[in-house]
Amino acid sequence: MSRRALLVCLLLGCSAGLTRLGLMYIFRSLALLPIIGLAVVVICLVGLAVGYRGDPPRPRTLLTGFAASLAGWLVIPSLVSLLLLAPFPQRWALVGSWETVAEANGPMLVRWEFSPWGASTIYRDGELRVTGRYVFLDDRTIEVESRSVPGRITEGPQYNRYRLQFEGDSMTMTWTLVDKVSVYRRAPQ
């Protein structure tokens, strides 16, 4: 495989991976991941197959092209994502599980989990109730997109903003719409 063909496969994979990252951030959806990835792999392999005039491509060449496009699709967006996370040191403090006891017809254990990649889930008394995504608007403010589980057809996502404050193993979240304050403790692993 020529360096030129390898570079084209890597660049196609990188551009598709960065597009995937942008779409995940804009639309906050993971559904496009496999579609974009498969499209990139098919385009790279077809490009390699068409690039050979006369002799059919060797399997090793196709495998190298596949590996280059897959590496570009997975590795480069992950590095870019880490660079995007770097300006917000509070994100790393937020990642993990947080618990509080809420009062709604009696005490209820609420567990809120935040992944490093922007996903959030809320469990109430051990039952999954809300899924969604979060983004940092500044160093101390997040916006959370929430969807109820099970969702209703007419029910769309809700968007809420929270101010964060960390002190040791406790996190204070202030819902900016009504200035409601909730204090969470880091959940045991």
Residue 175 predicted with pLDDT over 90: yes
Structure confidence by residue, pLDDT tens digits, 109-148: 999 999 877 889 999 998 998 998 888 888 889 999 988 8
pTM above 0.85, yes or no: no
CA distances (Å), 162 to each of 49, 59, 72, 137, 180, in order? 52, 53, 35, 10, 9
Q: Nearest CA to 167 among 187, 141, 185, 189? A: 185
pLDDT for residue 112: 94
Structure confidence by residue, pLDDT tens digits, 19-76: 666 655 555 555 555 666 666 666 666 665 555 555 555 555 666 666 776 666 666 6
pLDDT for residue 95: 86
Structural tokens at position 187? 């959940």
More confident residue, 178 or 69: 178
Residue 87 predicted with pLDDT over 60: no
pLDDT for residue 56: 56
Residue 86 predicted with pLDDT over 60: no
Cα–chain-centroid distance for residue 43?
A: 25
pLDDT for residue 118: 82
Collect all residues with Cβ–Cβ distance below 8 Å to 2 and sequence separation of at least 6: none
